[in-house]
Amino acid sequence: MIVRRGPAEAADVDSLPPGTVRVFAPAKVNLFLEVHGKRPDGFHEIATLVLAVDLGDDLAISPVETGDVALTCDDPGLTVGPDNLVLKAASRLRSETGCSLGAAIRLTKRVPWAAGLGGGSSDAAAALQGLNELWKLGLSVAELARIGAALGSDVPFFLGGAAAWATGRGEVIAPLDVGRPLDLVLLKPAEGLGTADVYRRLTVPAEPKDGSAVRGALAAGDVDALGAGLFNRLQEPAFELCPAAADWHRRLTEYGTAGALLTGSGSCLFALCRNPQEARRVHDDLSSGQPPGSPRPRTYLVRSRP
């Protein structure tokens, strides 16, 4: 995450109050995801290789004179009530620290939801980081991650670096090096998927797959080896629930890129490309050609974050 204090490079910077903190909330993809079983707390034990990309939301967090925390969003389909993870993050942060200050938070939404891209968790992490800065709380990344883990398993990852090996229910983070920038094309079908629905259809393997090869390929910057190691245990149950995602995955594999996979519990898919030119070719072809009568998916040309 990048925290920027007002003025920023956005076109609407003049409309932001003095002292506004702006935070970029990146999306993520899962290059590997294995499920090891169900835990006593009801969550599943997982092992996953997570990569942040340069598609993301923006949070503008401004000081207010009252002790209220209010959220607005440019996406009318997204709730801005107390169930939103941004407001939950603010409430948890105030409860943990005893802070009584307020804030006005403006969320510019670019990451599609119900997609497996971690948009809600990333927004929560951005809120924790931005409010920590605005309210001068002085909390460390580790302290914010502890607070964030209670909000969502992905939140601690978004407080860290560009890639990580995540275990536990996804909140135990071991940062990883990325050997070279990675170029990807994201494809979000019109249909969404709920994480709980996908997990309900999951069969936990007797012998889980090992992710050491894919971690090594990421560190070495070997895109073809990384593509060969792409794996997501949730892909099969997600495809059972959303046949359109399975159809789009088949189409992605026809481009001959290094690999294609569902991210998280879906319904978003990605193609891992060998270079920016291949990614541009795939993106442009997907954007221009649609089967007659099919709902149009959203496509994004992205790169891993440095």
Q: How far is Cα 67 from Cα 64, in angstroms, rounded to an integer?
A: 7
- DSSP 3-state of 36: strand
* C-alpha torsion 204→206→207→210, nearest 10: 10
Which residues are 232's β-sheet partners? 33
For helices 85-97 and 141-149, angle between their N-to-C axes, nearest 10 degrees:
120
Residue with tokens 């899962």: 30
Phi, psi of 56 (to 5 degrees): -170, 170
| 28, 57, 58, 188: the active-site residue | 28
- DSSP 3-state of 225: helix
What is the β-pairing status of strands 163-167 and 231-232?
unpaired
CA–CA distances in Å: residue 27 to residues 19, 40, 204: 26, 29, 27
Q: How far is Cα 193 from Cα 181, in angstroms, rounded to an integer?
A: 29
Residue 19 is encoded by which pair of tokens?
Answer: 């002292």
In the annotation, is 123 catalytic?
A: no
In the annotation, is 154 catalytic?
A: yes
Phi, psi of 45 (to 5 degrees): -80, 125
Residue with tokens 């076109």: 11
**H helices of the chain, where?**
85-97, 119-134, 141-149, 155-158, 195-200, 212-220, 223-228, 235-241, 243-253, 276-288
Contacts with 260 (C-beta within 8 Å, 6 or more apart), sequence order: 230, 249, 252, 253, 269, 270, 271, 272
| 57, 123, 154, 183: the active-site residue | 154
Task: Just list the catalytic residues.
Answer: 28, 154
